[in-house]
Structures are given as C-alpha cells and as structure tokens.
Amino acid sequence: MRSRAWRSSGRLSITMLLVAVLAAAVSLGSVIQAYAMPVEARTTEPWYAYQSAVGFDFVARVQPSKFYSTDLVRSGDLIQMKGPVEPPTYRRVLISRFTDDIDFTVTYRFQADRSAPLKVTMRIDGTTTLPGLWQRHYRFLEPKTVELEGTTTEGSGTFKIPVAQLLKDMEENRQMNLAAEPMEITIRPVLEVQALGLREPVAVSNAGEFRVVIRSNTVEIDDAREVTAEKNFAETKVVPLRASLLGLEVTVAALRQITMLLLVLFLVTVGLLVWLRRGRPTEKGLLQRLGPNLIAARAFETPGEAAVVDVRSARELLQLQTQSERPVIRVGTDYYLQDGTTCYRLTLATEEVAG
C-alpha cells in the first residue's frame, strides 16, 4: 500500500513552498515600489503677508489768467511732459510767474493678511538743492506714530511749497551772480511699520521719491503716483509623506521598513522550506540505510502458511527489521521482510522511489 501520510506531507510542503515564493515575490514588488516613493516633501506654510504704499498728489494755487481760469489747478489738469531719462519719467508743468504755492498731499496705506499689533510711523523728508551753491535737508512732516492692532492702517500728511517766495530767492541769487536755477526739491515720504506678536517681528519700510524742479519760466512736478511694496513670509517645512497599507495610513519610511521586513521573513521561509525538503530522505533513501541487509531479487514468493501484512512506511519496515534482524528482500518497488509466519510488505509508489 502506498504511504498516504508521506504523499500528504510532501504535497503540503510543496504548497507551502509555492505560497512562500509567491509572498516573497509580492513583498519584493512592494519593496521596489516603496523605495521608489519619496520619503518626505517640502511644504511652504505662509505666516504673514503685507502690501504697503506711499503716494502723493498736489493742487497748485495760481493767479487766474488766460492760462488758468481758476485759482486752483489740480495735477491732472496740467500739461504732461516726458523726461529725457530712462526709464521715462513724467512731469506736470506750471508757468512760474502765475504760480503762488503748491499744496501736496502724501498718502500711506498698509494692509496685511492677518491681525497683529502694529506700530506705524509716517514722516516726509525733503532736500532742496541749488546747483553749485547749497543743499539743505529738512522735513516737510515730522514723524507721526500710531499704534494699533489689526490688519489695515492708512493716513495722510500735507505740506506746502511756496513757489512765489522761492522765485524771489532765485532772483536775488541771480543779482549776486550766484547760480540761481534750477532749484530742485526732492520729497521723500517714508512709511515704517513694525508688526509684532508674530513668529518673528516684521519691519516694513517703504519710501518714495518725488521731485519738483523750479525754473524762472516753469515749475516741473513729478506726475502723481504711488510707490508700492509687498512681501510674503513663509516657513518651509519638511514633512513625511504617507501611503496606504492595507487600508491604513503609514509614513513611507515605515512602509519601507515593513515591506523589507516582510520580504526578509518570506525569503527566510522559502530558504527553510527548501532546506527541509532537501534534507528530508525519501522512502527509498531510508531503505538504503539497511546496507547488506537489503537484498535485491528478481522475485519473491511468500510462503503459503505466512500471513502478509502491509506496512505503511519505510520507517516502520526499518523498525521491524531492527527488531527481527532479518534481511529485507527488494523486488522492484516491493520490499519484503519474512519474520517467522508473518511476511511484512512495503510497496513504494514511483514518486516515493524518485524522491
């Protein structure tokens, strides 16, 4: 009778080996995929952003004449001229002899994307230059500070340039044979903002520069405009990337470790199963241990009075041979052990013989 236990055990070991090889292949693919994924990524987290602006406009007080129908002329009503420099600048032109004063209005504005304690300072600096003669620095508007908490603040400041008086001064210089013109006045409005209570203090400084050129015939004033500035503050962070593993979210670094651990585990399992399968002797191999007690024969006839008992495995036949100390006769795939009135027989299948 064939050894059913041996066949079942052999088939089970082959099945386990195939499952382990398949699991190792899947694990290898998972390892390759996990190591192809980046472990971390850089993200930008904004924490403050602002826009600031300073600008100016003006109104000229003039003497009504055939050139000016009223005593107040706004900047947009004057002739515009293009300066000779690059990038081009544009100026508005007044006739000097009909101009008394110019009233300037400087505006400032600050706006942020989130509330914070703000300390806002506004001032207007100025410089008057008479070529080859003198230069004087002063302030059209002394610093004015406002403290508040919020996102937005705005305000304005005004000052006057007495054109008629400056023309008289230029005439006196001319009479003394001093350089008289052009007189150039530079206006520098400055907006300074300190935003506190953030990740770090933010200092903002925005300054414009506008010019007024006074000649005996004309007064040229930079076209009204606004100077803006903006900035975004952000923190760059390195964050671990995540992936899905059996419905669970894990980091890619953890996924790499898990898949590598599974691969090693399955490879060890495959190696162990192969080693066990190779190290396991076949039924024929076990019988070869009989040595000279295994006798090959062409045929074997069981004595008529002997009872034939089929054994289930080579190990059982070996135990019987050890006990009886009788030789085992081999005829093809059949093995016989005659012990008195009992004949033990083991029949091997072809696969058992081949191992």
Distance CA 264, CA 24 (A): 8
Distance CA 353, CA 37 (A): 51
pLDDT value of position 6: 46
Q: How confident is the model at residue 351 (pLDDT cuts 50, 70, 90)?
A: very low
Distance CA 17, CA 25 (A): 12
Q: How confident is the model at residue 8 (pLDDT cuts 50, 70, 90)?
A: low
Q: How confident is the model at residue 340 (pLDDT cuts 50, 70, 90)?
A: confident
Give Cβ neighbours of residue 8 (< 8 Å, ≥ 6 apart).
Answer: none
Same domain, 137 and 184: yes
Least confident of 135-144, 182-191, 276-285, 337-346: 276-285
User: What is the domain count for the chain?
Assistant: 3
Query: 250 and 242 in contact (C-beta within 8 Å)?
Result: yes
Question: pLDDT tens-digit profile of 25-48?
Answer: 888 888 898 888 898 888 899 999
Q: Which domain holds residue 269?
A: 4-39+241-279
- Would you say residue 240 has pLDDT above 60? yes
Same domain, 249 and 219: no
| β-sheet bridge partners, residue 43 | 237
Query: 58 and 103 in contact (C-beta within 8 Å)?
Result: yes
Same domain, 274 and 232: no
Instruction: Pick 231 or 349 by higher pLDDT.
Output: 231
Backbone angles phi, psi at 273, to 5 degrees: -65, -40
- Domain final residue, candidates 251, 279, 307: 279
Distance CA 8, CA 98 (A): 119
pLDDT value of position 85: 66
Instruction: Pick 276 or 103 by higher pLDDT.
Output: 103
Same domain, 258 and 232: no
**Joined tokens for residue 220:** 């040229």
> Which residue, 221, 222, 96, is CA-closest to 167?
96
Same domain, 142 and 77: yes
Same domain, 84 and 181: yes
Least confident of 133-137, 254-258, 307-311: 133-137
DSSP string, 152-191: EEEEEEEEEE-HHHHHHHHHHHHHTT-----EEEEEEEEE
pTM for this one?
0.61
Query: 5 and 314 in contact (C-beta within 8 Å)?
Result: no
pLDDT value of position 160: 95
Same domain, 201 and 318: no
Query: 16 and 270 in contact (C-beta within 8 Å)?
Result: no
pLDDT value of position 50: 96
- Domain final residue, candidates 237, 268, 299: 237
Same domain, 20 and 80: no
pLDDT value of position 174: 82
Half-sphere exposure of 350 (CA within 13 A, CB side): 0
Distance CA 8, CA 206 (A): 88
**Joined tokens for residue 352:** 């058992």
- Domain final residue, candidates 279, 306, 339: 279
Same domain, 206 and 255: no
Same domain, 212 and 164: yes
Same domain, 78 and 168: yes
Distance CA 195, CA 268 (A): 62
Residue 63 parent element (H or E): none
Same domain, 248 and 121: no
